Amino acid sequence: MAAARRYDPERRRRIIDAAIRVVGRSGIAGLTHRTVAAEADVPLGSTTYHFKTLDDLLVAALRQAGQGFVTVVREHGGAAAGPAAAGQEDDLAAELARLTGRWLADRAGAELEYELYLAALRRPALRAVAAEWWEELAELLARRTDPRTGRALVALLDGVCLHVLLTGGEYDEEYVRDALGRLVRAGRSGR
């Protein structure tokens, strides 16, 4: 008689969480179905049942981990208010600079998000998911500015975050606030 199959509704989530931990510890190169199965403490067949390919697993991991900064902005008011009125540009810039600093304070989490995000350069299957992160953040910021300025703000924040993470440098909130404020003001005057 075959053993009864154990019902485990959280197994898929545990596998994704394990994949995120493996990438955080060993990078994309360390990600295999076998390493994830060991990390999640599930049979190897479970990882291939839920995720046929490593790209499928990476898409799920990117979708879960890649929402970190977007979630911070969404939950802390980055998109709550309407368009910034004249004179309120600096409020938006200060808010975004503060939130970026808060997000970068968890350096390991930020590095993991970017590692998954940048994996899309070599893995076309990840590109649509990576673009979702960028587009959602730009859309949130466009509610406070306009679509073009929202995209420019995301590009600036992306560059700042990559620079801090790649150089190991300190995050300069005052500099970022000033640069963001310039973009918001330029967008407002260009409407």
State mean pLDDT over 113-137. 87
Q: Decide if 47 contacts 36 (C-beta within 8 A).
A: yes
C-alpha 111/C-alpha 106 separation (Å) is 9
Mean pLDDT, the chain, rounded, equals 86
Full residue range of the structural domain in which residue 31 is found: 11-61
Q: Decide if 100 contacts 160 (C-beta within 8 A).
A: yes
* pLDDT classification of 70: cutoffs 50, 70, 90: confident
102 and 168 co-located in one domain? yes
Q: Is residue 85, in this structure, part of any structural domain at all?
A: yes
33 and 99 co-located in one domain? no
Kindly tell me if the per-residue pLDDT of 191 is higher than 60. no
Q: Decide if 159 contacts 150 (C-beta within 8 A).
A: no
76 token code pair: 């802390």
39 and 100 co-located in one domain? no
181 and 141 co-located in one domain? yes
Q: Is residue 179, in this structure, part of any structural domain at all?
A: yes
33 and 84 co-located in one domain? no
Q: Which range has the worst mean pLDDT, 14-23, 86-95, 96-105, 171-180?
A: 86-95
Instruction: Provide the pLDDT for residue 3.
Output: 42
Q: What percent of the chain has pLDDT over 90?
A: 54
Tally of domains in the chain = 2
Q: Which of 163, 143, 165 is nearest to 153 (CA)?
A: 143
C-alpha 79/C-alpha 160 separation (Å) is 20
Q: Decide if 57 contacts 15 (C-beta within 8 A).
A: yes
Instruction: Please say which residue of 20, 40, 61 terminates a domain.
Output: 61
Q: Is residue 32, in this structure, part of any structural domain at all?
A: yes
Q: Is residue 5, in this structure, part of any structural domain at all?
A: no
Q: What is the CATH number of the domain that holds 36?
A: 1.10.10.60
73 and 53 co-located in one domain? no
Instruction: Provide the pLDDT for residue 26.
Output: 92
Q: Which of 26, 24, 28 is nearest to 112 (CA)?
A: 24
* pTM score of the predicted model: 0.79
pLDDT tens digits, one per residue of 31-51: 999 999 999 999 999 999 999
109 and 184 co-located in one domain? yes
72 and 147 co-located in one domain? yes
Kindly tell me if the per-residue pLDDT of 100 is higher than 60. yes
Q: Say which amino acid occupies 106.
A: D
Kindly tell me the sign of the dihedral angle through the C-alpha atoms of 50, 56, 61, 66.
negative
45 token code pair: 């067949």
* pLDDT classification of 87: cutoffs 50, 70, 90: low
Instruction: Provide the pLDDT for residue 42.
Output: 95
Q: Which of 93, 95, 89 is nearest to 73 (CA)?
A: 95
Q: Is residue 4, in this structure, part of any structural domain at all?
A: no
Of 77 and 46, more confident: 46
C-alpha 109/C-alpha 107 separation (Å) is 5
